[in-house]
Chain A
Amino acid sequence: MIAAKPVLPAQRPLGWQEFLLLLAALLIVAAPHTLNAPWWLIALTLVLYAWRAAGVWNPSLLPSRWMLVVIVALATAGIWLEFRAIFGRQPGVMLLLLFSGLKLLESRGQRDAAAVVFLTWFIAITNFLYTQSIPTALGMCAAVATSIAALVTCAAPRRALRANLRTAGLLLAQAIPAALVLFLLFPRIQGPLWGLPQDSFAGVTGLSDTMSPGSLSQLSLSDAIAFRVEFAGQTPRRRAMYWRGPVLTDFDGRTWRVGYPGFAVLAPPTTGTRVEYSVLLEPHSRNWLFTLERAASLPDNSHHLEDGQIISLLPVRTRMRYRVASMVEAEARPGELHRVLERARRLPPGFNPRARELAQGWRAGATNDTEVLERAIDHFRRERLQYTLEPPLLGRDAVDEFLYVTKQGLCEHFSSAFVFLMRAAGMPARVVTGYQGGDTNPVDGTYTVRQSDAHAWTEVYLEAIGWVRVDPTALAVPGRVDAGLARSVAAGDTLPLLMRPELEWLRTLRYNWEAMAHQWNLRVLGYNPERQRELLAFFGMKDADWRDLASTLVAFLGVFVLGLFAWMLRHMVRPDPVQLAWNEFYAKLGAKGVARSPQEGPRDYSERAARNLPSAEETIRHIAALYVALRYGPEQTPAGVVELRRMVRELEFG
């Protein structure tokens, strides 16, 4: 006889409960992707979901296999046309979205449902490529819970939905301790494991290695956080907060570039106020790190360049934390490499004739470099140049137009004009970009620097003194540096939303939220191999390698599984208290020589015992009556159980 094939859950058709749970989980994980996906793909995916929904209602509506093949081919071609690639982050995510719809549509049995759940998890994790904020984390938790509920419902479709939801919740709740242990102890490797596609970290904002007029104006409207700082001691005053970033030396007449400066070992400054702090830098995909001018130490795995810029050996692709010390308001020191000065003097001919004339006039009337600089500073102070966030467009001779025609611009207009004038006068000068200012979060005391604090200033080299910082924007519009962006722009200019003075309550809310997000970034997202080592060292495991970690981890997980198992079986091993008391009663009477014979029921036995042990006759009868009432009666009262146990315990035979 042929054995009947078992009806495994995998072969059962998909019911509407399972389907709705699968769909809900998919919608949650796909929702954030609608910000990045092309509209037609979103529409197609939704159509596929809806098609499957119709199929639950009427299975004959489901498409045949060849139809699915056609859809796959067309949609894949569409993705290729859209992104000119099939591999890579963005097209990969799009393909996942598409396949989620197709797999759902194709799902007939419950084994397919499991494949849809796995796809859901993959899509969930791709969301973290874009953002790992607290709301995203909560959303993905909800999606995982829903998908597990779908798995449970697939495994037990006859069971009530509420019971299945409870089981899913219980599974997740029980998963948390193990997840925590794994998160803390799983041996971490610093990624990436292989070269990442070019677009992996697209869309992060930040400074650029080139500067042309107008390039910073987009940043100045962004509230995004560039980095956060925790000062070890006193926070320096705002005026001194120049966070040095890329130094732009090379100029082609219109655009300033970083060029290719070599590595250098620069002597730390000896004057100024020493400030120690740690920076939590948001990823910007570039190598540069920001420090207060002038850095007295270097962060780990970083180098100085000849122009004083600090770069990390690897691009900052994840949030990065480093400790560094700076000497604020340090005095400059003379002495610089010849080739650095040479680069800082180059000026392509043929641009900005009026500015050139102006600078040559200063040079002709001055005896030394210092005097030229003083004249230039004086010029910027007097010229009534205006600061605006909406600068007019400039033509070929941008510096001339800015100085003589439009007379308004952003810090990049000011600094590029100033450096141009200095070079035209024959002095080495360069543009320094970075951030100026920032604000303290009153909730947790962290100092926050935003993209809207992006700034450009200049450095001029004086033979006797060295590189001198000159901030032409501050010269022309002193409020920009002292009071920040909000109070230095003309009225009517668009300000970043949260810089507007009337939204005080919103700012308070934001401070609180950002303080929480900072902790999240630091403790959850910033947990990396280094922090893992620190944590283990704190618990006394110095220099733990992966073997120590693995064995600790396995031990913890073993204890977890055993503990969970014991806890889950606890109700089943606890014997009935009534029976326990009765067994004790047997033992006591047995010790007196009245052993029970197998065929005797409780009544007969106790009757015989009462006759044989007349000294405890009353009690024995009482115990037996109570036992019969508790054991076979309509209900077991707790008081009765206590009474029975007490009587058996106190049973004496005189």
Chain B
Amino acid sequence: MRLFPFPALRFWPQLATWFHGSAPPARGETVIAHRRVYIVPSRLGLYFGGALAILLVGSINYVLSLGFALTFLLAGMGLAAMVQTTRNLARLSVRTGRADPVFAGDTARFRLTLANPGSHDRPEILLRHLGSGAQQNIDIAPTDTVEAALAVPAPRRGWLPLGRVMLETRFPVGLFRAWSYVEPGCRCLVYPRPEPSPLPPLAPSDRAGGARAHAQGSDDFSGLRGYQPSDSPRHVAWKSVARSDTLHPRSDAMLTKQFAGDAVAELWLDLGDLPAALGLELCLSRLTGWVLAAERAGAIYGLRLPGVRIEPGRGDAQRAACLEALALFQSA
């Protein structure tokens, strides 16, 4: 059934869409509604206003009809510039991207995807992270999508929310500054700052699986076994991969170097082993350093924190799990 019998009203739904802004955007996407684009004259715009005033007074004083025409043409240009500056931001869609975990003290790189739904290009859009001042200047071609990366310092472990991001533009003539805020809701996991320190002496490892303390040297090569996706790339037998005649070896054809199972220490990294006087953060830093060192050494390691227990294992997944536990332990 046609809701509107009159042809003139055919555009009504579109008009309503325009008036109310767009339909609610998909999850993880923020669309800048045109009503949320703020605009003020830039410093240059104020000078422009002053110049127009001088031109106007001159035209009145010397009774220059064409002077009026010139002044008003420039004033009209200013109005058009205001609209075009707003348009440069309006209906831009910002999609949250990934942010790879970083260690505290490093810089988190938040990736945002900006999509231009319009048929015109949007040059000179400045993304600025309000918290840190990190920024990037981007141009977006018509109906194109651009990925921007904001390098935000990550001083503390835990979740680092991106927070508010300001999008600013002065295009096309720099007389106006239009801006809008988006809060994409993405966050970056920040591991504790690793403290480089030697691995702890192998404690009689204990309560869980009986003492299996063995030789310190943990890289005694003992043989090869089939590759499993969780194996660290460091342990892949790359030489045998290189010998195979296919360019892209299938993962089941790959082999992982196995270190004498018994020669590998099963290491428990326990917060309780560290002196409480060190303070929690320093302890976590040291544990982080140990996790990295243990992984580097190819050890099998587990992590014990109050209320957290990660069974011994090894490989990137183990490392990530341990680091995440350390990052989020008692963090606000």
Contacts and interface: CB of A to CB of B under 8 A. Distances in A.
Contacts, number: 204
Interface in B48-83: 48, 51, 54-55, 57-77, 79-83
Interface in B75-121: 75-77, 79-84, 86-87, 90-91, 117-121
Nearest to B116: A572
B313 interface: no
B91 A122 contact: no
A352 interface: no
B79 A191 contact: no
A111 B44 contact: yes
Interface string A91-128: 00000000000000000001100110010011011001
B226 interface: no
Interface stretch (B122-130, B184-192, B208-216): B122-130
B135 interface: yes
B221 interface: no
B173 A148 contact: yes
Interface string A118-158: 10011011001100100011001100100010011011101
B57 to A, nearest CB: 7
A597 B29 CA distance: 21
B55 A122 contact: yes
A175 B132 contact: no
Contact of B65 (A132, A179, A569): A132
Given A1-B153, A155-B170, A200-B62, A171 B81 contact: yes
Given A9-B124, A122-B55, A573-B91, A186 B61 contact: no
A574 interface: yes
A525 interface: yes
Contacts of A155: 124, 170-174
Interface string B125-145: 010100011110101000000
Contacts of B70: 121, 124-125, 128, 140, 144
Contacts of B120: 571
Contacts of B134: 3-4
A4 B133 contact: yes
Nearest to B91: A572
B173 A194 contact: no
B72 A156 contact: no
B222 interface: no
Interface in B246-303: none
Interface stretch (A336-344, A355-363, A377-385, A557-565): A557-565
Contacts of B74: 121, 144, 175
Interface stretch (B14-22, B227-235, B237-245, B316-324): B14-22
A572 B32 CA distance: 12
A643 B128 CA distance: 46
Give chain A's interface residue range (CB within 8 Å of chain B). Answer: 35 or more
Interface in B179-202: none
Contacts of B172: 151-152, 155-156, 167-168, 171
Contact of B62 (A114, A152, A191, A557): A191
Nearest to B90: A569
Contacts of A192: 60-63
A6 B126 contact: yes
B47 interface: yes
B117 A178 contact: no
A126 to B, nearest CB: 8
A575 interface: yes
B60 A193 contact: yes
B34 interface: yes
A174 interface: yes
B60 A191 contact: yes
A240 B18 CA distance: 70
B164 to A, nearest CB: 14
A174 B57 CA distance: 24
10 tightest A-B CB contacts, nearest first = A3-B133, A175-B76, A178-B76, A174-B80, A182-B72, A179-B76, A175-B77, A179-B72, A179-B73, A525-B65
Interface of B: 14, 17-18, 22-23, 34, 44, 47-48, 51, 54-55, 57-77, 79-84, 86-87, 90-91, 117-121, 123-124, 126, 128, 132-135, 137, 139, 153, 155, 170-174
Interface of A: 1-4, 6-10, 110-111, 114-115, 118, 121-122, 124-125, 128-129, 132, 136-137, 140-141, 144, 148, 151-152, 154-156, 158-159, 163, 167-168, 170-172, 174-180, 182-183, 186, 188-194, 196, 200, 317-318, 524-528, 557, 560-561, 564-566, 568-569, 571-575
Given A125-B58, A192-B63, A575-B14, 12 more contacts: A114-B48, A128-B66, A136-B66, A144-B70, A163-B121, A174-B79, A189-B60, A192-B62, A194-B61, A317-B63, A527-B65, A571-B119
17 contacts: A3-B133, A4-B134, A9-B170, A114-B48, A118-B47, A121-B51, A151-B173, A156-B124, A170-B84, A171-B173, A174-B79, A175-B76, A190-B63, A200-B62, A524-B69, A528-B65, A565-B87
